Amino acid sequence: MAIETILIINKSGGLIYQRNFSESFASKLNSNDFLIIASTIHSVFAITSQITPKALQITQNNVDYVIPYIPMVGMESSNPQQTRNANVPVKLGSYKGPDFFKEPFISWNKSGLRQLSTDQFTMYIYQTMTGLKFVALSSNVLSTNAGTMNGSIDKTKAVNVASQVADNFLRKIYCLYGDYVMKDPFYSMEMPIKSELFDKAVKRMVNNLL
């Protein structure tokens, strides 16, 4: 999954972090455009929670919101050319390696927008219990071709897996946020993030995902 852009939106809908990871359409937008995009996402997110289909609302208890744990999303893969051997644990800030977490988890985002697929990009949103939204824009396009019966089942599976990978990935970005942004004594809450350590860590994770 190739991540183009990561956005972090605070609980009031303001953009507090925005990074582009490749030279493509995203770099044609300036920072003002991203501010507008962030507020739009925030509002659309709220609107989508109101238009949940009635059938889904009635069977609320049967929907499974558990996101399975997908191992090593965004972590350094075992590359034989790397000098790091298996015995040396990867430095993950305040987490002991090899990964940030190992269990499946329940999504806090029950009726809001989680994934937006278009023919140019796919957008994934992960909302935390405190109202913070992590948005990832990926250049991977999820196929929308109408196929045979088997084809559409596979397509649904592919969409689900992509969404789960994105949720795992964005939760790890949330872990990095907790480590490098929250613990920075000079960071004011709800303000734009200016942290070199956070930038480096996020870039490392995005590169590992390619």
Partner 1 sequence: MSRQQSINSSQTPTPTTAQSPLSRSLKATGEEVWKRTEKINAELFTLTYGAIVSQLCTDYGRDFVKINEQLYQMGYSIGVRLIEDFLARTALPRCQGMQETSEALSKCAFKVFLNITPRVTNWSSGKDAFSLIIDDNPLSDFVELPMDAMEQLWYSNVLCGVLKGALEMVQLDCDVFFVSDILRGDQQTELRVKLNKILKDEIPIGED
Q: How far is it, in rounded angstroms, from Cα 78 to Cα 52?
A: 42
Choose one: 14-22, 30-38, 138-146, 168-176; the region binding partner 1 (CB under 8 A).
168-176
Q: Does 195 bind partner 1 (CB under 8 A)?
A: no
Listed ranges 80-88, 143-151, 174-182, 201-209: which one lies at the site for partner 1 (CB under 8 A): 174-182
Judged by beta carbon, residue 20 or residue 115, the one nearer partner 1 is 115
What is the three-class DSSP state of 171? helix
The secondary structure of 71-86, three-state, reads: CCCCCCCCCCCCCCCC
Q: Compute the radius of gyration of the chain from its Cα atoms.
A: 18
- In the chain, helix, strand, coil percent, each to 5? 40, 15, 45
141 touches partner 1 (CB under 8 A): no
Query: Residue 38 has which token pair?
Result: 């962030």
Residue 174 Cβ vs partner 1, minimum distance, rounded to whole Å: 4
Q: Exactly one of 85, 182, 186, 210 binds partner 1 (CB under 8 A); which one? A: 182
Number of residues that bind partner 1 (CB under 8 A): 37
- Whether the bond between 98 and the residue before it is cis, its omega within 30 degrees of 0, is yes
Instruction: Determine if 183 is a binding residue for partner 1 (CB under 8 A).
Output: yes
| Structure tokens given for 116 | 């937006």
* Whole-Å CA distances, 50 to 2, 13, 197: 31, 17, 38
* Options 159, 174, 192, 197; binder of partner 1; rule CB under 8 A: 174
| Shortest separation between residue 111's beta carbon and partner 1, angstroms | 5
Applying CB under 8 A, does 164 fall inside the site for partner 1? Answer: no
Nearer of residues 26 and 114 to partner 1, judged by Cβ = 114
Query: For residue 88, which amino acid is it?
Result: V
Contact string 98-137 vs partner 1 (x = CB under 8 A): --xxxx-xx-xxxxxx-------------xxxxxx-----
What is the H or E stretch that residue 43 is in?
helix 31-50
What token pair was written down for 96?
């002991």
Site string for partner 1, 42-61 (x = CB under 8 A): ---xx-xx----------x-
Query: SS3 of 97, please?
Result: coil
Nearer CB in complex with partner 1: 4/74: 74
Q: Which residues pair with 18 in a beta bridge?
A: 7
Which positions touch partner 1 (CB under 8 A)?
11, 45-46, 48-49, 60, 93-96, 100-103, 105-106, 108-113, 127-132, 171, 174-175, 177-179, 182-183, 189
